[in-house]
Amino acid sequence: MSEELATKLSNCPNRGYVIAPAGYGKTHLIALAVRAAGGRQLILTHTFAGVNSIKTKMTLLGVPASKYQVDTIASWALRLCLAYPKSSGWATENPTSKQWGKLYESCSGLLKKQFIRHVVSATYTGVYVDEYQDCSDSQHSLVCALADLFPCRILGDPLQAIFDFEDGKPVDWNASVYPTFDCLGELDTPWRWKQAEAHELGAWLKEARKKIELGQKIDLVGGLPRSVIRVATATAFLEAKQYSSLCDQLGRHCINSQPPPPLAH
């Protein structure tokens, strides 16, 4: 499945997405697709830890370094804007947390200029964006500007967004991704747990994800894998909003939970 999907990603002529839950082999898939590519690919993610993870996988699978450049969206956008300060209207080398949204807007505008389009198109033949669920709307606009230049493949899990941006919520897949990107496939094997021989836990997590996707409750009382240990906690342990949201997802099993008694000395 990975080889076939990797070929599909590599041959994608325009915009495409892959639903890729955590631990299902997303980084491996990107490396296989880049290895099969005919030109240099730009690979963007959100953290330097993610950059290192992708580079490590590329090396492990023997992908030539000449075939790719891996960077964070933030670093790549900042470097491009600073390289052309007059055209981008950007000269701040160390943006504050509230300035990043404006930087992405400046970069999106810069990518619409013909000479920049020529430079970027001459440097890369395609782009991959990892962990797409963590993109903000302004980052999504930047990615769409890149997608106007060459094939754009995005990978992520819309159920997995973890970042909270000051300029708004993470990109809405229903409104911004599904209507304009083609579905190339979905990863369905929990490799992280399979390779760790934690098959029961992997299967349970896969089923739990499916229930969340369908808007169903997750039962944390019965049917748990043997490797999962339940620890009760007082409601004061979580902020009210977090607690309410968590209880709603879990079918309110935790409403009357009390902390376990202290261990005897």
Taking CA atoms, 243 is separated from 161, 199, 209, 253, in Å, by 18, 30, 20, 11
User: pLDDT: is 259 or 195 the higher one?
Assistant: 195
For residue 255, tell me if it sits in a domain: no
Bridge partners of residue 38, in order along the sequence:
none
The burial of 90, by beta-carbon neighbours within 10 Å (0-12 exposed, 13-18 middle, 19 or more buried), is given as buried
pLDDT greater than 80 at residue 261: no
pLDDT in the model for residue 248: 67
Tell me if residue 156 falls in helix, strand or coil.
strand
- In terms of domains, do 147 and 224 share one? no
Q: Indicate the pTM of the whole model.
A: 0.85
Can you give the length of the chain in residues? 265
- Structural domain ending residue among the three candidates 140, 161, 189: 189
- In terms of domains, do 208 and 113 share one? no
- In terms of domains, do 232 and 158 share one? no
pLDDT in the model for residue 69: 99
- In terms of domains, do 202 and 152 share one? no
- In terms of domains, do 116 and 209 share one? no
- In terms of domains, do 42 and 147 share one? yes
For residue 263, tell me if it sits in a domain: no
Please provide the average confidence, as pLDDT, over all residues in the chain.
89
What are the contacts of 121-124 at 24+ separation with CB within 8 A? 121/149, 121/150, 123/40, 123/42, 124/39, 124/40, 124/41, 124/42, 124/69, 124/150
Count of domains forming the chain: 2
The mean pLDDT of 122-137, rounded to a whole number, is 97
Q: Which domain covers residue 222, as residue numbers?
A: 197-249
Beta carbons within 8 Å of 213's beta carbon, 6+ residues apart:
159
- In terms of domains, do 148 and 231 share one? no
- In terms of domains, do 214 and 245 share one? yes
Bridge partners of residue 18, in order along the sequence:
155, 185
